Structure 1
Amino acid sequence: MQHDNSTDRTGLGQLPDEGVGLAVLLRAWRARAGRNLGLGKPLPQVEVAAEVGMSERWYRDLERGATPRLDARTLTGLADALRLCADERATLFLYAAGGEPLAAVSPGEGVDLAPLRRLLRLQPAQPAYLTDNAWNVLDHNEAMAEWFPWVRVPGANLIRWGLTDPEAREQMADWPRHGRAYLAMLRYAMAQYPGHPELVEILRTALADPECRRIWDDGPVIIANRDGHTFRLRIPRFAPHTVDVVAQVLHPVGCPGLRLTFISLQDG
């Protein structure tokens, strides 16, 4: 069964806006497809429906929030018609499946994180950290704490820090690019884990900031993770110079939802 994330079912009330959920993404993707095709308007609903082999009414109902069963053939047709990238295609399939098929593990439920913690320690020179499906920092190596002391604070959360902490905007060169990436990862995660209370809270807090709100309202961008992304940092220990780094993200197969992230100097 499909989930509509425009309404929070966690007891926290409505999300900050109606900017999440499959219906809003379909409308945005169709508008973008029309622009990219030089139409000067959204790709007509009737054309999307025709490419999928369905009726215009069927597709119109989808954009209004209907939740019919969507098989793989139909989803592939929709993705092709709307010219979706790989992460957007994955998001479409997640909404159709009602979220991530494999539930995220909880470190508090007998999950042995010792092997992952040892892996962090084997990387002494460059920052490395472990996060859960809501980007709570579960562990980190000493280099990560030296570069980013905020990870030592109980309850440290990567996305919350990146979107709402003034320090993040000082340390991340071209911060709007990072803000857009973090919000894009939030969109993807909310398709993976519908109604996740921490994700809802992070989004609500972020959208209280005018700059985050402007980026969010600029249109839905979706990123599954930042694996391979390169960026420039202003880290106090390297002052007055900046450093160029690349992030590598690993997903432990036996621990769904957890992420191991390694940050390396680009010239290293």
Structure 2
Amino acid sequence: MGTRRNRQELAQFLRRCRERTSPADLGLPGGSRRRTPGLRREEIAVLAGLSPTWYTYLEQGRDIRPSTEVLASLARVLRLSNDERTYLYLLATGNPPSDERPRSDTSDDAVVRAVVDGMAHPGLPVYAADIHGDLVAWNDVAAKWYTDFDALPEGRRNMLWWMLTAPEARERFVNWEEDTRDVVGRFRRAAAARAWDARFEELVGVMRDASTEFCEWWSSHYVSKQRTRLRELWIDGEPRVVQLAVLNLADSTRSVVLHLPPDTGSAPDWPSCGEDLR
């Protein structure tokens, strides 16, 4: 079932989801007689069609290998979101569910056209990062919109680290908590897919020490996937809304992050990178 780290994460995730699940939502008796919140292990096991002992082994982090059918049953009983279901599969098997495959949809064409246009626009930020969030490249506009990444300490040129620890980040993001929590959720998903990757473990350790918000969100097992989404930043004293589009490079752990007009219809009337945006 993967590494010991993922088995422990799976055990904690299952316990967290069990404790938050209301017995009433599943038609079970509740009341003050319950000594612990949520469902009992035995109830989860019965509802998912599992042996209580076998399910207990899962929550103890033992080296057992649940089938995809078992994972599907647990996701149903625990009322997991799509992102949480994928996270469950990643922890247990190292792979997402078989139905989570890239789709071919012409409704994405407008975004694709905006990406092509945006890459050539001098007023749009562009930066590239690896799977850990470590920045590897950026243009001048990205440095002006976010921060002078060159000035960050060695080993801390990391987007999530900066968002969590820099006072400047809280001033830049209009919705700092929402944006940062989303990045934490995507970081957790990426870590689950690479249980052997020591860089994730290192970053989790330093961010736990540096940020109470990270500790709270990490302990809650919040998880999300990468999506094309809006981000609002304070630029030149005014809020500016952009649509983020991420290009994953083939045969690489690097991605390019583009900032597009929110309606993907036309290039924004923003200053060029030669003008002061602060």
Note whether the superposition's TM-score is higher than 0.5.
yes
Assess, with a 3 A threshold, how the Cα gap between structure 1 residues 212 and 56 changes in structure 2: closer, same or farther. same
Q: 1:65 to 1:169 in 2, by over 3 A?
A: same
Question: 1:6 offset after TM fit, Å?
Answer: 7.2
| Contact 2:184 2:218 (8 Å CA) reproduced | no
Instruction: Note the C-alpha offset of 1:130.
Output: 1.7
Q: 1:262 and 1:96 mapped to 2: Cα distance?
A: 32
1:61-120 CA distances to partner (integer Å, 9 max, x unpaired)?
1111122112211111111111111221111111122478xxxxxxxxxxxxxxxxx998
1:60 aligns with 2:61: no
d(CA) in 2 for partners of 1:242 and 1:194?
Answer: 38
Instruction: Give secondary structure in 1 for the equivalent of 2:22.
Output: helix
How far residue 28 of structure 1 moved from its aligned partner, in angstroms, is 0.8
Report which stretch shifted further, 37-46 or 69-78: 37-46
Q: Is the 8 A contact 1:22 1:92 kept in 2?
A: yes
Tell me the CA shift for residue 181 of structure 1.
2.1
Give deviations 1:39-82, integer Å, cap 9, x for gaps. Answer: 57312322322233211111111111122112211111111111
- Give, in angstroms, the shift of residue 222 of structure 1: 0.5
2:84 counterpart of 1:80:
no
2:205 corresponding residue in structure 1: 204
Q: How does 1:87-236 map to 2 (within 5 A)?
A: 87-98=83-94, 121-153=119-151, 156-213=157-214, 215-216=216-217, 219-225=220-226, 227-235=227-235
CA contact (8 A) 2:6 2:192 kept: no
Hey, what's the Cα distance between the residues in 1 that align with 2:24 and 2:228?
A: 26
Partner of 1:24: 12
Greater gyration radius: 2
Q: Verify the 8 A CA contact 2:41 2:52 in the aligned structure 1.
A: yes
1:24 CA displacement: 0.4
Is 1:42 the counterpart of 2:38 in the alignment? yes
CA distance in 2, matches of 1:74, 1:145: 47
Q: For residue 112 of structure 2, what is the aligned residue in structure 1?
A: none
The TM-score normalised by the length of structure 1 is 0.75
**Structure-2 separation of matches of 1:46 and 1:256:** 43
Amino acid corresponding to residue 229 of structure 1 in structure 2:
R
Letter in 2 for 1:248: A
Aligned-pair Cα RMSD in Å? 2.9
User: In the alignment, which of 245, 248, 260 is matched to residue 251 of structure 1?
Assistant: 248
Could you say if the C-alpha distance between residues 217 and 144 of structure 1 is closer, same or farther in structure 2, counting changes exceeding 3 Å? closer
Gap change, CA 1:194 and 1:76, over 3 Å in 2? same
Q: Deviations over 1:132-185 (max 9, x none)?
A: 111111222333233224334465221111112221112112322233223222
- Partner Cα distance (1:70, 1:247) in 2: 36
Which structure 2 segments of 5+ residues have no match?
Answer: 32-36, 97-115, 269-278
CA distance in 2, matches of 1:167, 1:82: 39
Gap runs ≥5 in structure 1: 8-19, 101-117
User: How many residues get paired?
Assistant: 234
Distance 1:124 1:35, change over 3 A: farther
Return closer, same or farther for 1:27/1:77 CA change in 2, 3 Å cut-off.
same
**TM superposition score normalised by structure 2:** 0.72
Cα 1:125–1:205, aligned 2, differ >3 Å: closer, same or farther? same
Does the aligned pair in 2 maintain the 1:120–1:128 contact within 8 Å? no
CA distance in 2, matches of 1:36, 1:198: 41
